[in-house]
Amino acid sequence: MAARVLPLLLVVVVAAAMARAPTAHAWGKEGHYMVCKIAEGFLTKEAATAVKELLPGWAGGELAETCSWADTERFRGNRLPELSVHAMIDKTLRTIMYGYGYGDCHNTNGEKDMCVVGAINNYTNALEDSSSPYDPTESLMFLAHFVGDVHQPLHCGHVKDLGGNTIIVHWYTRKSNLHHVWDVNVIETALKEFYNEDVSTMIKAIKMNITDEWSTEEKQWETCRSRTKTCADK
Ligand SMILES: *[C@@H]1O[C@H](CO)[C@@H](O)[C@H](O)[C@H]1NC(C)=O
Ligand SMILES: *[C@@H]1O[C@H](CO)[C@@H](O)[C@H](O)[C@H]1NC(C)=O
């Protein structure tokens, strides 16, 4: 989810203070879908063609359809052999939660480059390098997934609380944890309260803000292009 969108929604949602239990949809999936759907619209013609060529057949030509692939495959992982791509995904997803920036990128075992920023760098490099041992289609799907994740502030949080996973909170009447609130609960509630459960309306609203309301911030966002520094370092 776009980081700028959520704090605003959070304030509005909390202020509204409506104690309703959100319905149990797979909104984690919706969050990733929305990020990719928005991103797809900003691809150059060349990039869009390259992406289309790499997409698996089941994506139906849509990058957004593949953006939860990493999570979905991970949950299937238990019936798969240890060295399969699924085991690798599980290891990667389990360990990329933490580290606010490149200089602080490590997992719970202190292994360097095991954070979401490290994963983005690795899969970007893999896509740029035709001699990389990584499968380019998988690299693209990982990259698209992790770019969504990195905009979730708790993927750049502390190892100590496992990116907010150990912080138990209530979202209205429902028990949750802070990581899950950002991943799922906020999006689910916003969709319900403001967008009539319609993902495409919410995407439209966010897109409109990107080209309108927030466009003056574009220059500032562009200064965050560096692979080795976060904006917080600047
Ligand atoms: C990124 O690549 C480095 C160097 O090969 C490796 O040590 C690290 O585990 C990788 N990190 C992720 C998250 O894939
Ligand atoms: C669009 O921007 C306005 C003003 O910052 C904000 O109130 C609104 O929540 C934003 N909409 C979305 C979908 O983020």
pLDDT tens-place string over residues 73-108: 766 654 434 434 544 555 555 554 554 444 567 777
Least confident of 24-28, 41-45, 229-233: 24-28
Pick the ligand that lies closest to the CA of residue 202: 2
Q: Report which of residues 198 and 161 the model is more confident about.
A: 198
For residue 146, the model assigns a pLDDT of 85
Whole-angstrom Cα Rg for the chain: 18
Nearest to 75 by CA among 54, 94, 97: 94
Q: Residue 161 and residue 175: Cα distance in Å, rounded?
A: 17
pLDDT at 227: 66
The residue type found at 182 is W
pLDDT for 112 equals 75
| Pocket around ligand 2 at a 6 A CB cut-off | 5, 8, 205-206, 209, 213
The pLDDT mean for the chain works out to: 76
Question: In the prediction, which pLDDT does 93 show?
Answer: 57
- Atom of ligand 1 at shortest range from CA of 119: 13
Instruction: Please report which ligand is nearest the Cα atom of 123.
Output: 1
Nearest CA to ligand 2 atom 2: 209
pLDDT of residue 103: 58
Pocket test for ligand 1, best of 114, 135, 149, 227 (most atoms within 8 A of CB): 114
In this prediction, residue 154 has a pLDDT band, given cuts at 50, 70 and 90, of: confident
Residue 192 has pLDDT above 80, yes or no: yes
Give the mean pLDDT of 169-180.
93
pLDDT band at 118 (very low <50, low <70, confident <90, very high): confident
The secondary structure of the chain, three-state, reads: CCCCHHHHHHHHHHHHCCCCCCCCCCHHHHHHHHHHHHHHCCCCHHHHHHHHHHCCHHHCCCHHHHCCHHHHHHHHHHHCCCCCHHHHHHHHHHHCCECCCHHHCECCCCCECCCHHHHHHHHHHHHHCCCCCCCHHHHHHHHHHHHHHHCCHHHHECCCCCCCCCCEEEECCEEEEHHHHHHHHHHHHHHHHHCCCCHHHHHHHHHHHHHCCCHHHHHHHHCCCCCCCCHHHC
pLDDT for 217 equals 87
Question: Closest ligand to 12 CA?
Answer: 2
Statement: residue 176 has pLDDT above 90: yes
Q: Are 81 and 53 in contact (CB under 8 A)?
A: no
Q: Check whether 1 has a pLDDT greater than 60.
A: no
User: Would the CB of 105 count as within 6 Å of ligand 1?
Assistant: no
Pick the residue whose CA is nearest to atom 6 on ligand 1. Answer: 113
State residue 94's pLDDT score. Answer: 54
Query: In this structure, what token pair is assigned to residue 17?
Result: 């203070």
Is a pLDDT exceeding 90 seen at residue 149?
no
What domains are defined for the chain? 24-83+96-156 (1.10.575.10), 168-227 (no CATH)
